[in-house]
Structure 1
Amino acid sequence: MRAFLFPGQGSQAVGMGAALADASRVARDVFAEVDEALGQNLSRLMREGPEDELKLTENAQPAIMANALAVFRSLTVEGGVSLEKAAQFVAGHSLGEYSALAAAGAFDLATTARLLKLRGQAMQRAVPVGEGAMAALLGADVELARRIAATAAEGEVCEVANDNDPSQVVLSGHKGAIDRAIALAKEMGAKRAVALPVSAPFHCSLMQPAADEMAEALAATRIAAPEVALIANVTAAPSANPDTIREHLVAQVTAMVRWRESVAAMADQGVEEFVELGGKVLGPMVKRIAPDVRVTSVVTIDDIEALAKEIA
């Protein structure tokens, strides 16, 4: 069994998708469709930068999705790979869940791009720059991370944002609380703590205004049942009902990304190969969660052709 995975924020880089667009008409069409949907030359920003502008949440989120869907469509259209035959599950890390849903036919590409543009803008509006922060705890599991967060909070928000793998958990909240968590982490048992270069405290209760904006947008959005089962971030369980998917996407803005549990659930269901489309950030996490599975990252046209040949 196989699962297709889609990366989240942090996987953006100037030049992303450029070589693929040069090699694939289908990829060029994806980038053009996203540009048209947004009324923005996002593909040029992806290709040429500047990096500071690409890193802005409202640009990074649709850019990462566009790159992943360009890889996916090149695989399925030019490579002749059927999603339903190739994979039993799709999943994405945070914004990658939108990419996974688009790949599985729940959203069309233009809708996905607009939703992610709004999601990025709403997340940035929710908390003024400088008031929130995030930190990665290395050598810590989720139980230890929760203890560190509770100790550091002191009346402020300090919550587990991402349970990425058995040795990496991310905290999110008020900057003061996150600073205290970083200072406390080692003495409480973590190997180390690293402040993350983010512009907002994602996946914590401070994001509630963004969740409210996404609830309104998603209420007006048609969602189809995905062609293969989606493993949802907020439940680490299959999600196929459009109304349930809508609820999960709203909850996802403030809730913890249960990535470790999601990968473990797919492995328990018999998934032996995890294919990351459009990035190389999820593979190492997957191997730390399920060491015996096979992990493949598909980014270039050569990667796409190799996977298409293997699946065929």
Structure 2
Amino acid sequence: MGKIAFVFPGQGAQYVGMGKAFAEQSESAKAVFERAGKSLDLDMSALCFDSSEEALQKTENTQPSILTVSYAIYTAVKEKLGLEADAFAGLSLGEYTALVAAEAMNFEDAVRIVRKRGQYMQEEVPVGKGGMAALLGVERDDVLKVCEEASVFGICEPANFNCPKQVVVAGEIDAVKQAIEISKRYGAKKAVLLPVSAPFHTSMLLGAGEKLRQEMLKYSFKPAVHPVYSNVTGDRLDPETDVRENLVKQVFNSVLWEDCVASMVRDGITTFIEVGPGNALTKFIRKIDKDVQVYNVENPEDLEVLAEKLKTGGGNADV
């Protein structure tokens, strides 16, 4: 089977009911929801299982809920399969789940931090001033040219390099709208505004990053037990790297997800297991490298299929 990496989704993967089946069937997963609830003094199970889409879409709720669901499912997967990962990574918010799984962060601390992170990121830019857009079919170097041309109209920067020819740009709304039009000259097959109200992972969130830095001084961090790959560098975090500073930079720097996956493959990872709500990372990874095995687990049925696939050495599957 080779080396295994667990990867975790970021904001946007949330939906009402996520994680409920695991909490009902796994004591370890149920315990994670209880731990999150005590840490934040709220009913995390009710928020994830029985609230509304509107409640979950509030950034200060979205971030701790996705972290909780992803980590709860991870504990259930590890409990059933007994797998020890060779690497961890996560997309944006998902990097916090990766750091918790790699034992660099305490879970209770992490849910408190990401709730503040969500608040700081949302509050930094007034609603309506910033935006994000997905550009599909544009080469990476050309995205940089698109942003440069659009910057005449305001701030416009690459926010997420998800996979080949799928990049998200962000910044001031007028500049982002111009980027959509400009990208068509560079071969964009599709270019659309995303339903978010803040320009995440751009220089417009420098202030949010500074607030997060001050918040994280309240908490302690440890060197990761297993390798974690950084969104900021697109490579393995050096054991000497200040985890706090890496997470601060992540707020206002591009997410280099494509680079993270390529670096893990370079380092011998042959199997990726996406754990948490949705399967966006599974789709990205397959576009980045068609030779690796990729699975995703978001409900107990997926875990049963994964267990069987790993037992038989099966190839890629949408589990």
The TM-score with structure 1 as length reference comes to 0.95
Instruction: Spell out, residue by residue over 1:62-105, the C-alpha distance to the aligned partner (whole angstroms, 9 max, x if none).
Output: 1111111011111223x15143xxx2110000000000001111
1:201 paired to 2:199: yes
How far is the alpha carbon of 1:49 from its aligned partner? 2.2
Instruction: Spell out, residue by residue over 1:32-58, the C-alpha distance to the aligned partner (whole angstroms, 9 max, x if none).
Output: 111111112232121112101101111
**Aligned partners of 2:106, 2:310: CA distance in 1, in Å?**
25
How far is the alpha carbon of 1:286 from its aligned partner? 0.2
One of 48, 69, 82 as aligned partner of 2:50: 48
**Aligned partners of 1:311, 1:292: CA distance in 2, in Å?**
16
CA contact (8 A) 2:153 2:178 kept: no
One of 247, 265, 269 as aligned partner of 1:249: 247
Alignment of 1:18-37 (within 5 A): 18-37=20-39
CA contact (8 A) 1:226 1:240 kept: no
Which amino acid in structure 2 is aligned with residue 132 of structure 1? G
Corresponding residue SS for 1:230 = coil
Q: What's 1:8 paired with?
A: 10
CA contact (8 A) 2:153 2:174 kept: no
How far is the alpha carbon of 1:310 from its aligned partner? 6.1
How far is the alpha carbon of 1:309 from its aligned partner? 6.2
CA contact (8 A) 1:144 1:189 kept: no
Instruction: Spell out, residue by residue over 1:286-311, the C-alpha distance to the aligned partner (whole angstroms, 9 max, x if none).
Output: 00000111100011123334445666
Which amino acid in structure 1 is aligned with residue 55 of structure 2? E
One of 182, 193, 196 as aligned partner of 1:184: 182
Corresponding residue SS for 2:186 = coil
CA contact (8 A) 2:236 2:263 kept: no
Q: What's 2:317 paired with?
A: none
Number of residue equivalences: 308
One of 168, 173, 176 as aligned partner of 1:175: 173
**More moved, 300-309 vs 14-23:** 300-309
Which amino acid in structure 2 is aligned with residue 214 of structure 1? L
**Aligned partners of 2:240, 2:37: CA distance in 1, in Å?**
26
**Aligned partners of 2:220, 2:240: CA distance in 1, in Å?**
8
Q: What's 2:314 paired with?
A: none
Corresponding residue SS for 1:275 = strand
Which amino acid in structure 2 is aligned with residue 43 of structure 1? S
CA contact (8 A) 1:223 1:242 kept: no
**More moved, 179-188 vs 282-291:** 179-188
One of 131, 137, 140 as aligned partner of 1:142: 140
Structure 1 gap segments, 5+ residues each: none
Which amino acid in structure 1 is aligned with residue 255 of structure 2? V
Q: What's 2:119 paired with?
A: 121
**Aligned partners of 2:309, 2:189: CA distance in 1, in Å?**
40
Which amino acid in structure 2 is aligned with residue 238 of structure 1? R
CA contact (8 A) 2:10 2:91 kept: yes
Structure 2 gap segments, 5+ residues each: 312-319
**Aligned partners of 1:237, 1:167: CA distance in 2, in Å?**
20
Q: What's 2:275 paired with?
A: 277
